[in-house]
Amino acid sequence: QEVRVSGRVTSSDDGSPLPGVNIAEKGTSNGTISDTNGNYGLAVKSGSTLIFSFVGYASQEVEIGGRTTIDIVLETDILALSEIVVVGYGQQEKKDITGAVTDISTKDFNRGVITSPQDLLVGKLAGVSVTTASGAPGSNATIRIRSGSSLNASNDPLIVIDGFPVERSVISGISNPLASINPNDIETFTVLKDASATAIYGNRASNGVIIITTKRGKAGKPVFNFNTALSFSTPIKYYDVLSGDEYRTLVNELAVDGISGINQTALDKLGTANTDWQREIYRTAVSSDNNLSASGSIKNIPFRASYGYTTQQGILRNTDLQRHSLNLSVTPLFLDNHLKVNLNVKGSNVVNNFGEQGAIGSAVTFDPTQPVRDPDSAFDGYFSWANLGAGQGGTSNPVAQLEQTDNVGTVNRILTNAEIEYKFHMLPELKLNVNAGLDYSESDGYNRVPITAEFLRVTNSGVTTTTGRDNTYSGVNRSALLDVYLNYAKEIGIQKFDVTAGFGEQTFLRERFSSSAFADGTNLREASDPSENYLRSFFGRLNYSLNDKYLITATIRNDLSSRFSKDNRSGLFPSIAVGWRIKDEAFLANVNFLSDLKVRASYGITGQQDIANDYPALALYTASDSLATYEFGGVNYVTLRPEEYDANIKWETTATYNLGVDFGMFENRLTGSVELYRKNTDDLLSNIQVPAGSNFSNFLDTNIGSIESKGVEVSLQGVPISNGKLTWNAGLNFTYATNEITKLLLVDNPDFLGLERGNVGVAQNIQNHQVGYAPFSFFTFQQVYDAAGKPIEGLFVNRSGDPTAVVGNNRNKYRYQKPVADYLIGVNSRVSYVNWDFAFSGRLSLGNYVYNNNLSGRAFYNNIYGLDHFRNVPRSIYDTDFVNQQQLSDYYVQDASFFKMDNMSLGYTLNDLFASKLKARFSLTVQNAFIVTKYDGIDPEVDGGIDNNIYPRPRVFLLGVNLDF
Amino acid sequence: CLGDLDLQPIDPDVTTSRSAYNSPEAYKQGLAKLYASFILTGQQGPAGNSDITTSDEGNSSFLRQMWNMEELTTDEAVWSYPNDFGGTIFNLHYHSWLPTDGIGAFAYARIMNSVVLANEYIRATAGSSDPDLQLYNTEARFIRALSYFYGLNLFGKMPFVTEANLPGAFLPEEIIRTDLFEYIESELLAIQDEMGEPKFEYGRADKAACSMLLAKLYLNAEVYLGAGNERYTQAITELNKVITGPYSLAPNYLNNFLADNNTSPELIFSFNSDGRYSQSYSAVWTIIKGNAGNGGFSGLRTTSALVGKFAPTDPRAHFLKEDVGQSLEIEAVNNTKQGYGVNKFRNVTSTGQIPDDGTDFIDTDYPLFRLGDAYLMYAEAVLRGGTGGDINTAVGYINQLRNRSGDPAIGNITSGQLTLDFILDERARELYWEGHRRTDLIRFGQFTGDTYLWPWKGGVSEGIASEPFRSLFPIPADDRALNPNLTQNAGYPGGN
């Protein structure tokens, strides 16, 4: 017997109607969605139970009893376990998930992030590391999920924004492809880590997937939010170098023995000033971030529109970033709610002033006895060594570098897509989804220096002339997407099926144009290199559950990449996962402290084809540019070169095993998960050395090598206290990961010293890839120390046993440590008491090492004077007293383990202002609050492990106001 | 929906192998690449889009590393920066180089790269009836022979690939030194008559260049093939062809080493530079920009052993001395102020003009083969017993070289003074810093051992003996690891 039940769903927050809530008849596939006013109607069997579920709210099950009208108030869910999670090509209830999937939403984000969305995630998720490249405004960040699985191909995760997988390559004129997305518009990040979760994105999923979902409108009367923040950034620390007075003393001492060639001619060049060059180039930077959004419905169409304006100054003078962003999302329902449309348009304009970051190194090096300005200078009044006759190789006045450089890029981006879901009228279990979109960016920029600048010059037959610079560039990135898939969900008794199948295509076009010239327009060189690649995919997924306890997910994807030849184009990527909700078994029913327990296991294969070369399988010829021509008989001919290629290049594949346990205790006051994984990547897409004579270069893009990664991840979230006034949320995540090269060459040979990486000088490398070691391990001589623990200059351990001198024999080098941490531990806490709230988030990184190139390149006495000019030295020169440079010593590979307090925030909320029409929150946030480390550089967090003149990350104090009305 | 996924490049600077040679100009561009492969490093000037992947593209120019191997291992040149090449560059001075050093590996990779580029070009131009293309094809064979000659001279044996080997990821076979000698000789003899007439186009190898290469092969035949295998008569035959040709001595010695040396009548074959259109960090760049005492980066000086070979009035001695802060003796190899600079190569024209390129790069071409060298080779081949020449002619040639710059004359020599020892020293005075010194010292038995010691040979300031096996460089460890077909030279780890 059927009855029709109807009613209205509202939010416990503010009583507003909730549209889009899923209402299902329990144990069947029968269901509906609430309309824009929160109303629903559904015919069900009498005596059945309705399940109401909606993202961000606790699901409710309601027995209808004899009722025909059921109004429901959904509670916002702090302890949500049965949330809906966005996964590839669809959504899933968290409890049904069998793969390693974690998500994080607005309330958990790091506070005070204004330009780089990935900063919202720093330290928050096990197995996910986010390292910003530097403290420059809009600086890029490296995201690694489970440490990446490739050697030469990309290790970046696939980023999907509202269903659109975005281009990885950065357009010129911006450093960070995500900097064009306003962090304020982001609702959730979902991170897919294991193959079961990612294989549906087969072709680009080997390094994990991050799905970003932006905020959507809620139906109802439009509500507004305005937030604004004003922030002040300051340098945390300066390099400890000698002051002018200290330097004069040292130089006079060295002159006694003529060390570094210092004689009277040299001493005559010393100045009388005491200039702290670092303080001349840095400043307290002021930034502001302003966002206005409106959300609600107009004529029953839910929408959200937002506008953001950010202006950020860098602590290095003459660096800044401005961004305007506009975000519109419209989510109408048509055809009796059978047709759901989700239209997203994101536009942004970013103007990034990159300045001259070379000033950072110059400020450490430049002679502190010289003044910033010199009335006799021929170079716009800046003191310059050229005044004193120093020639090529002289260091440059950092203030001149900053002030005379005009280096600005502008990027406009529009990312738009429409997701259309049609539920068939005849067969509501069947849904057709179409997702079509376009991501288009265009950029242009310039980098100019006037001819009066001393720091750009050429020396010809002893005559030095300045050149200035007039460089310009422009670029286009265009990516178009079409996905079409069908989804069929059916419940038969205690069995649930959910089947998805479809196909997709995506194209990527990249165009770059650049020109470089001297300031007067001479020496012009122009270059352009347009390139494109296509992907075509067929994919399918089956979710099956028995009795809601036994879960199976199987996916398969077939990908075709234009990068490979017809014969090798196709890659097949399957995965299978099983889950067991043990808590639902009868034998645990009475174990009361345990509120949830699930174990999961998965295995799957994913693929990789994302390498820099779009045509690695084609025999191509490249013409030279106009500066690399060759002269015959007075005529310069462009040259034509055949390119190396491998006609048989194919997919790199990664097999991932994952074992996971999810648990909840004490009514889910404490929840967590533990993951164990192993990833084996084979047929690495390497740019690898091939036998001399076998191809048109000594390195070739081909499939050689293997990598193995293993790890353990633990996440815990708890609510130790929750009562009417006081709530305390705390979270901890722990990651242990290793990464090892297991095969590198066609025929591995112990005599092969490995592939050199990490250039730190003239044909000089400090890192190395070798079988049995982590990628980018440091490759150095082993320093010998005296009894007092001081390194002995030039004395290294003979590790090879060769009778020859130790230095100069690469076989005496060894692999000493690596840049990537062994352990990452994130902690975060949020306490709210009545109107006050306090939150912090910090990170402990253990086992990460850094090569301190700032010291190795400077801290030796022979560096002080040379090429007719002086250079300052770090004070730590007294720790070693090195006379000559010891660049290849492991002394400079330093333990850079650290604890960073990334974020501390205090807030006060005022409710019910102006007759309940206004809610306000005031906050004070400190980013980069403090660092605990033994490392003696400015910042132990160095992406890639070579610390050399990195734009320092500032400490930021941020005052914010958030208004809801 | 997309059609098939067979994408073709959309960059107008990139073509496929099928369409690359769709015009006569394209063939000349392909030929230009073969010549450029010795001095330039890639498709962007001065660096970028490198032909080979190394840790430092600018340093990987064939000419720069060949020059380092021929000069830094001798009394003629000293480098200043010990950390370069992972701290192995001073191994050249100390005669302690190893298979794992970078410098040998760079030169070796460049040699083989020039070979495979030539092979591809030979395939592309094979069988043409077009006389231009036939000539290009012949020159490509010369380029390949020249590349293998450097392999023969520096490493002895090499991986061996010809136009029959298509590109892939295979393991090339090894060719031993005697077979490589015969291969180079047979190739040069086969193409000799097909090469262009002398001076037909500046920058391209002609019949005289082919004869010079043959003459160098023959003059050093006892080194390559073992004692008793002399080819001095054949050397004189080839040198006579060169000397009777249209080449003549430049009236002024220095004119061979200046920015307009392309106008010198003496250059038989050169690797060409242009400060504006042909930029690289090759050896010509380092010996001009990196010379101590001239305001450059002070990478290079020379030893007192070379300076001491010159009479005070010798007009060929161009050193940067105490007046610019350089001292004669070298007490510390890394002290840029110790050791004279060499001011022979310059980026000014013979009339004193600085090229108006306004760049950091230079116009001076690298004189690989010049008539002055041919004169000295002739004299040596005659002295060593070759027939077809005579001692008086030889003395006449030597005196022309000594006196061409005239004022003040350093005096004629007599036939009695023309000894092998004199020739070796005279070659140093005439040809220093031109990349011949190591080959010469080996031919005269003075490179290794204790017959001749110079400052810092063997790693000590006064010089000590080095092991005899060092007259060959080791096969780079990397390539041996990659290619099990390759064996190591005797004396080195893994060699026999």
What pLDDT was estimated at residue A333? 85
A239: tokens are 């390099």
The band of B348, judged by pLDDT with boundaries at 50, 70 and 90, is very high
Out of B94, B120, B357, closest to residue A642 by CB = B120
Q: Phi-psi bin for A524: left (phi > 0), alpha (psi -120 to 50), beta?
A: beta
Chain A residues with CB-CB distance to B49 below 8 A? 622
B173: tokens are 């076979």
Has residue A701 got a pLDDT over 80?
yes
Mean pLDDT, chain A, whole residue set: 89
What pLDDT was estimated at residue A752? 84
Domain ranges of chain A: 2-77
B411: tokens are 């005096």
Choose the mutation target among B144, B331, B359 for the interface with A, i.e. most A CBs under 10 Å.
Answer: B359
Highest mean pLDDT among A97-101, A428-432, B234-238: B234-238
What pLDDT was estimated at residue A126? 85
Q: Which residue intervals of B354-465 are DSSP H helices?
A: 371-383, 391-403, 420-431, 437-443
What pLDDT was estimated at residue A855? 94
> CA-based angle A948:A954:A957, to the nearest 5?
175
Out of A640, A764, A813, closest to residue B30 by CB = A640
What pLDDT was estimated at residue A750? 77
* pLDDT tens, residue by residue, A635-684: 999 999 999 999 999 999 999 999 999 999 988 889 999 999 999 999 99
Mean pLDDT within A759-786: 92
Of the two residues A630 and A805, the one the predictor is more confident about is A630
The band of A56, judged by pLDDT with boundaries at 50, 70 and 90, is low
Q: Return the bridge partners of A713, or none.
A: A675, A735
Q: Is B70 helix (H, G, I), strand (E, B) or coil?
A: helix
Has residue B116 got a pLDDT over 50?
yes
C-alpha span between A63 and A504 (Å, rounded): 41
Out of A463, A467, A639, closest to residue B29 by CB = A639
pTM attached to this predicted model? 0.88
Choose the mutation target among A464, A505, A639 for the interface with B, i.e. most B CBs under 10 Å.
Answer: A639
DSSP letter assigned to residue B353: P
C-alpha span between B15 and A621 (Å, rounded): 5
Q: Return the bridge partners of A409, or none.
A: A352, A445
Residues whose CB falls within 8 Å of the CB of residue A345, separated by 6 or more in sequence, listed in order: A326, A327, A328, A329, A414, A415, A416
The rounded radius of gyration (Å) of the Cα atoms in chain B is 22
What pLDDT was estimated at residue A545? 92
- Please tell me the least confidently modeled range out of A218-222, A380-384, B143-147, B224-228: A218-222
What pLDDT was estimated at residue B297? 85
Q: What percent of chain A has a predicted confidence (pLDDT) above 70?
A: 98
Has residue A546 got a pLDDT over 70?
yes
Of the two residues B410 and A207, the one the predictor is more confident about is A207
Is A656:A677 a contact under the CB 8 Å cutoff? yes
Chain B residues with CB-CB distance to A527 below 8 A? 44
Helix axes B131-154 and B102-125, enclosed angle (nearest 10): 160
C-alpha span between B102 and B87 (Å, rounded): 9
A810:B30 CB<8 A: no
The band of A79, judged by pLDDT with boundaries at 50, 70 and 90, is very low
**What residue in B sits closest to A754 (Cα-Cα)?**
B478
Q: Give the count of alpha carbons within 13 A of A827, CB side only.
A: 8
Highest mean pLDDT among A375-389, B414-428, B482-496: B414-428
C-alpha span between A775 and A150 (Å, rounded): 10
Chain B residues with CB-CB distance to A761 below 8 A? 83-84
CB atoms within 10 A of CB A585: 12
Mean pLDDT within A817-845: 93
What pLDDT was estimated at residue A391? 57
Which DSSP helix (H) or strand (E) runs through B183?
Answer: helix B177-191
- A142 to chain B nearest CA, in Å? 23
- B223 to chain A nearest CA, in Å? 25
A846: tokens are 């253990």
* pLDDT tens, residue by residue, A274-291: 999 999 999 999 999 999
Please, what sign has the CA dihedral across residues A458, A460, A464, A468?
Answer: negative
Mean pLDDT within A40-45: 88
Has residue A321 got a pLDDT over 90?
yes
Q: Is A712 helix (H, G, I), strand (E, B) or coil?
A: strand
CB atoms within 10 A of CB B1: 6
Out of A392, A533, A631, closest to residue B297 by CB = A392
C-alpha span between B298 and B291 (Å, rounded): 5
The rounded radius of gyration (Å) of the Cα atoms in chain A is 31
CATH superfamily to which A2-77 belongs: Carboxypeptidase-like, regulatory domain (2.60.40.1120)
What pLDDT was estimated at residue A147? 78
What pLDDT was estimated at residue A539? 93
* pLDDT tens, residue by residue, A203-212: 777 888 888 9
- Please tell me the least confidently modeled range out of A826-830, B6-10, B362-366: B6-10
Residue B483's nearest CA partner among A303, A653, A694 is A694
Amino acid occupying residue A46? S
Mean pLDDT within B75-96: 93
Is A541:A553 a contact under the CB 8 Å cutoff? yes
What pLDDT was estimated at residue A76? 67
Residue B204's nearest CA partner among B32, B27, B26, B24 is B32
> CA-based angle A688:A692:A693, to the nearest 5?
120
Helix axes B207-219 and B131-154, enclosed angle (nearest 10): 20
The band of A104, judged by pLDDT with boundaries at 50, 70 and 90, is confident
Amino acid occupying residue A169? S
Q: Is B87 helix (H, G, I), strand (E, B) or coil?
A: helix
Residues whose CB falls within 8 Å of the CB of residue A915, separated by 6 or more in sequence, listed in order: none
Which DSSP helix (H) or strand (E) runs through B216?
Answer: helix B207-219
C-alpha span between B236 and B218 (Å, rounded): 9
Has residue B63 got a pLDDT over 60?
yes
DSSP letter assigned to residue A183: G
C-alpha span between B77 and A338 (Å, rounded): 83
- B419 to chain A nearest CA, in Å? 38
Which DSSP helix (H) or strand (E) runs through B93?
Answer: helix B91-94
C-alpha span between A516 and A939 (Å, rounded): 34
Mean pLDDT within B361-369: 96
C-alpha span between A184 and A204 (Å, rounded): 27
Amino acid occupying residue B440? D
A392:B16 CB<8 A: no
Choose the mutation target among B25, B38, B92, B113 for the interface with A, i.e. most A CBs under 10 Å.
Answer: B113
What pLDDT was estimated at residue A393? 62
**Phi and psi at residue B380, to the nearest 5°:** -65, -45
Residue B326's nearest CA partner among B78, B64, B69, B67 is B78
Has residue A80 got a pLDDT over 50?
no
Token pair 């063939």 is found at B27
C-alpha span between A85 and A93 (Å, rounded): 6
- A648 to chain B nearest CA, in Å? 9
B44:A888 CB<8 A: no
B360:A460 CB<8 A: yes
For B268, B372, B451, the CA distances from B221, given in Å and listed in that order, are 22, 21, 21
The band of B129, judged by pLDDT with boundaries at 50, 70 and 90, is very high
What is the side-by-side strand order in the sheet with A849-852? A893-895, A849-852, A946-947
Of the two residues A97 and A292, the one the predictor is more confident about is A292
Has residue A710 got a pLDDT over 60?
yes
- A267 to chain B nearest CA, in Å? 15
> CA-based angle A519:B299:A368, to the nearest 5?
65
Residues whose CB falls within 8 Å of the CB of residue A30, separated by 6 or more in sequence, listed in order: A24, A42, A43, A44
> CA-based angle B47:B49:B54, to the nearest 5?
75
Mean pLDDT within A98-121: 81
The band of A81, judged by pLDDT with boundaries at 50, 70 and 90, is very low
Q: Return the bridge partners of A296, or none.
A: A303
**Phi and psi at residue A848, to the nearest 5°:** -90, 135
> Number of Cβ pairs closer than 8 Å across A and B?
358
* pLDDT tens, residue by residue, A496-537: 999 999 999 999 999 999 999 999 998 888 888 899 999 999
What is the CATH number assigned to the segment(s) B24-482? 1.25.40.390
Q: Phi-psi bin for A90: left (phi > 0), alpha (psi -120 to 50), beta?
A: left
Token pair 């391209």 is found at B204
The band of A945, judged by pLDDT with boundaries at 50, 70 and 90, is very high
Chain B residues with CB-CB distance to A807 below 8 A? 87
What pLDDT was estimated at residue B2? 58
What pLDDT was estimated at residue B409? 65
Has residue A82 got a pLDDT over 60?
no
Choose the mutation target among B53, B64, B351 for the interface with A, i.e. most A CBs under 10 Å.
Answer: B53
DSSP letter assigned to residue B253: G
C-alpha span between A857 and A265 (Å, rounded): 25
Is B433:B345 a contact under the CB 8 Å cutoff? yes
Token pair 């076998």 is found at A694
A693:B481 CB<8 A: no
DSSP letter assigned to residue B213: H
The ipTM of this complex is: 0.96
**Phi and psi at residue B283, to the nearest 5°:** -60, -35
DSSP letter assigned to residue A584: G
C-alpha span between B273 and B38 (Å, rounded): 11
**First-to-last C-alpha distance (Å) of chain B:** 63
Token pair 């200043």 is found at B80
Residue B395's nearest CA partner among B409, B378, B410, B408 is B378
What pLDDT was estimated at residue A680? 94
Out of A630, A867, A884, closest to residue B298 by CB = A867
Is A307:A328 a contact under the CB 8 Å cutoff? no
